[in-house]
Structure 1
Amino acid sequence: MSKLRIGFVGTGGMGQMAHLSNYAQLAKECEVVAIAEPRAEQAKLVAGRYGIAEIYADHRELIAKARVDAIVAAQPYRRHSIIVPDILQSGIPVFTEKPLSLTVEAGERLVRLGEERGTLHMVGYHKRSDPAIEYAKAVVDRWKESGELGRMTYVRVSMPPGDWVAGADAPLESGEPRPSDELEPFGEAFDAETNRKYDEFVNYYIHQVNLIRHMLGEPYRLAYADPSGILLTGTSDSGVCAVLEMGAYRTTVEWHESVFVAFEQGFVKAELPPPLARQQAGRVTVMKDAAGGSPEYVVPVLPNVHAMRKQAQNFLAAVRGERPAPCEAREALEDHRLAEAYIRAMYPRQSENF
């Protein structure tokens, strides 16, 4: 297997902690050969730490001059609609963080361009790559196909705010002023204050909106938005109830994110680690209580692989054509549609005239 040559667009905090540090450990599969970073000292620091030979001032220069097989564009999501079109136009496979964009309209443009050019665009919903979610999803899919535990009845994702950093090492930081980059503007669907609330929801809970669909294995639509802002419910195409529990409480040290999928005669539960906790997968519990058998619980021992590391491996495998990307842009766009529906339901008066 020949190594893939990877270019990085952006070397900020998340770019280093969640992505670059993981690709650097996959030396048998890839080599990070180029970075695009407008801050000269920041670029030198990061290139020196990771042994990266080529430094470019921006993504356009990297696309034009570097010989890369794929690009990781580790950017704030309001930069995606500014930077990613050039990458999609080039035909180079690209990975971006979640969410796809800020607005539905910008996301639609990215999807359309990527499909017209035939360019792979993987969106970084890293929880899909956690060994716990991969295990749980395989069990859920097997039960759906076999019908051995009856029909799927319920999917719940719970994520109270907590310590998502989990003591992660600080990234390299030159101290240079951050560039005042162009950002995707807010859309016209909401007034200014409601746009701010939409942005907050998309930034914080879009992972969970996406994870619900992943576990359902089919689309779902908004059914109810509780005025407290703590509960969102949905209904899947086949009638399965879906629930997102948000900030019912908060923790200062721990991380309590979980996924629960129920069937008539059993359930699968996955408890996930903090997003930046290294070498740590989630924990899965499987319960079966089928008629005619003895009830049983299974708690598998999972590999100590960080979801971010596995996500990088999955992107490389998708670039090589060995598997589909865990989440491509077209599916990621549906997260924005549901988020917009949720905000409209929460703030109808602020939305009705826009």
Structure 2
Amino acid sequence: MVAYTKRYDAGNELVKNLLLKYDSSGELGRILLARNHGFCGNWICNLDTPMEVTDEKSPEFPIIKPKWLPDEYLNLYIGYLQQYVHNVNLLRWFFDANAEKKITVKYVDFDSDGITGLAIFGINSIRAIIESGQISHYRWMK
């Protein structure tokens, strides 16, 4: 199960409402580009309290590899997907992409780590760019 919590962030809800308002009024013209970035640091984000852990074994889950994906890229693909599926979903939500209004991948350019780089999508005739990377830092940047 994936939780798309970015949809419920107060700032993102405000952006969504503004996009709907300006799209319906035409006041600002058409949207040409959406830019999203996520540069990941240490996943515990400089946690200042002890983290609760368990020695319980994690549950098993099936790994579903797309047929088009070469085997050597599976771990990189999963790593990117686990983090940036939320960014893609947020862009889809902002621009009302659903099963009928598809999102298309236009261009992808990643470094050998499978994270650092950019992906360009088409979402309802809007270019959407996700810039991604890993940094040696004590926090997340969104």
For the criterion TM > 0.5, the same-fold answer is yes
Q: Distance in 2 between matches of 1:125 and 1:168?
A: 25
Q: Distance in 2 between matches of 1:180 and 1:130?
A: 29
Q: 1:130 to 1:164 in 2, by over 3 A?
A: farther
RMSD: 2.2
Which string of whole-angstrom CA distances, capped at 9 and with x for unpartnered residues, describes residues 59-85 of structure 1?
A: xxxxxxxxxxxxxxxxxxxxxxxxxxx
Q: Which residue in 1 is equivalent to 2:65?
A: 187
Q: 1:243 to 1:180 in 2, by over 3 A?
A: closer
Shift of 1:172: 3.3
Q: Which residue in 1 is equivalent to 2:135?
A: 250
Shift of 1:213: 1.0
- What is the aligned counterpart of 1:225 among 85, 105, 108? 108
Instruction: Write 1 or 2 for the structure with the bigger share of helix.
Output: 1
Q: In the alignment, residue 141 of structure 2 is paired with which amino acid?
A: H
Q: In the alignment, residue 255 of structure 1 is paired with which amino acid?
A: W
Greater Rg by CA: 1
Q: 1:178 to 1:222 in 2, by over 3 A?
A: same
Shift of 1:148: 0.8
1:169 aligns with 2:49: yes
Contact preservation (8 Å) 1:213, 1:220: yes
Shift of 1:164: 4.7
Q: 1:141 to 1:163 in 2, by over 3 A?
A: farther
Contact preservation (8 Å) 2:40, 2:139: no
Q: Which residue in 2 is equivalent to 1:129?
A: 8
What does residue range 9-20 of structure 1 map to in structure 2 within 5 Å? none
Name the % identity.
Answer: 24
Q: Distance in 2 between matches of 1:254 and 1:181?
A: 28
Which string of whole-angstrom CA distances, capped at 9 and with x for unpartnered residues, describes residues 246-265 of structure 1?
A: 11x625124321xxxxxxxx
Q: Distance in 2 between matches of 1:202 and 1:151?
A: 30
TM-score (norm 2): 0.79
Q: Which residue in 2 is equivalent to 1:216?
A: 95
Structure 2 portions without partners, runs of 5+: none
How many residues are paired up? 132
Q: Distance in 2 between matches of 1:250 and 1:227?
A: 15
Higher RCO (C-alpha 8 Å, min separation 6)? 2
Q: Secondary structure at the match of 1:158?
A: strand
Shift of 1:227: 4.5
Q: Which residue in 2 is equivalent to 1:148?
A: 27
Contact preservation (8 Å) 1:155, 1:216: no
Q: 1:246 to 1:152 in 2, by over 3 A?
A: same
Contact preservation (8 Å) 1:160, 1:246: yes
Q: 1:151 to 1:184 in 2, by over 3 A?
A: same
Shift of 1:186: 3.5
